């Protein structure tokens, strides 16, 4: 995650670097960089999950054409969870203000947010494998189990994003109680 923050800070122009030497202004630049990093990361995660949602939609069409209409509702539950997740992460506040406005963010809190971000990025691969499994299970007895597994992973992704949001809003997982 620090690579993303580094990419943002490396792309600053000379004027911003000059202004960063002015007392108080550097904190403003750091806050904006944190917000920009958060937005870029969320967009990347949303794009990857959008691809999985599109794959699930294509599988729904395939199920209809191969006579698996009885599984459409089950697969739709997974598709809805992924779609809602994509919409939530894509349209979430651009760097939750109280968290990103802090001149100095506690490293433990930032590390916790990055842990959730990494978990979300890793879950894209898990969801992709689950979609692969659904695809290969079409027409077999394993289809219901593969759809349940995909739905479970989709819910875990939503839950991880909810926990990330709690950290950003200063919830119980943010370390404030320590």
* pTM beyond 0.85: no
* DSSP letter, residue 92: S
CB within 8 Å of 129: residues ≥ 6 apart:
none
9's tokens: 């800070």
> Cα(106)–Cα(117) distance, rounded to whole angstroms?
17
Q: Positive or negative CA dihedral for 150, 159, 175, 92?
A: positive
Convert the pLDDT of each residue in 116-165 to its tens digit. Answer: 888 899 999 999 999 999 999 999 999 999 999 999 999 999 998 888 88
* DSSP letter, residue 1: -
Residue 139: strand, helix, or coil: coil
Convert the pLDDT of each residue in 73-114 to its tens digit. Answer: 999 999 999 999 999 988 876 544 445 555 455 667 777 878
| pLDDT computed for residue 38 by the predictor | 78
Tell whether the model's pLDDT for residue 20 goes beyond 70. Answer: no
* Higher per-residue pLDDT: 52 or 103: 52
């Amino acid at each position: 995650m620090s690579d993303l923050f580094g990419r943002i800070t490396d792309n600053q122009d000379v004027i911003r670097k000059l202004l960063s030497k002015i007392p108080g202004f550097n904190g403003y630049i750091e806050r904006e960089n944190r917000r920009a990093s958060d937005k870029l990361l969320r967009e990347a995660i949303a794009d990857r999950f959008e691809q999985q949602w599109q794959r699930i939609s294509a599988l729904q069409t395939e199920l209809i054409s191969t006579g698996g209409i009885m599984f459409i509702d089950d697969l739709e539950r997974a598709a809805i969870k992924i779609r809602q997740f994509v919409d939530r992460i894509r349209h979430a506040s651009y760097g939750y203000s109280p968290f990103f406005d802090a001149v100095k963010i506690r490293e433990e809190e930032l590390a916790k947010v990055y842990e959730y971000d990494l978990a979300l990025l890793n879950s894209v691969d898990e969801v992709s494998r689950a979609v692969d499994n659904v695809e290969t299970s079409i027409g077999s007895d394993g289809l219901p189990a593969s759809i349940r597994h995909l739905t479970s992973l989709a819910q875990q992704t939503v839950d991880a994003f909810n926990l990330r949001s709690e950290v950003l809003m200063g919830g119980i997982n943010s370390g404030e109680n320590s």
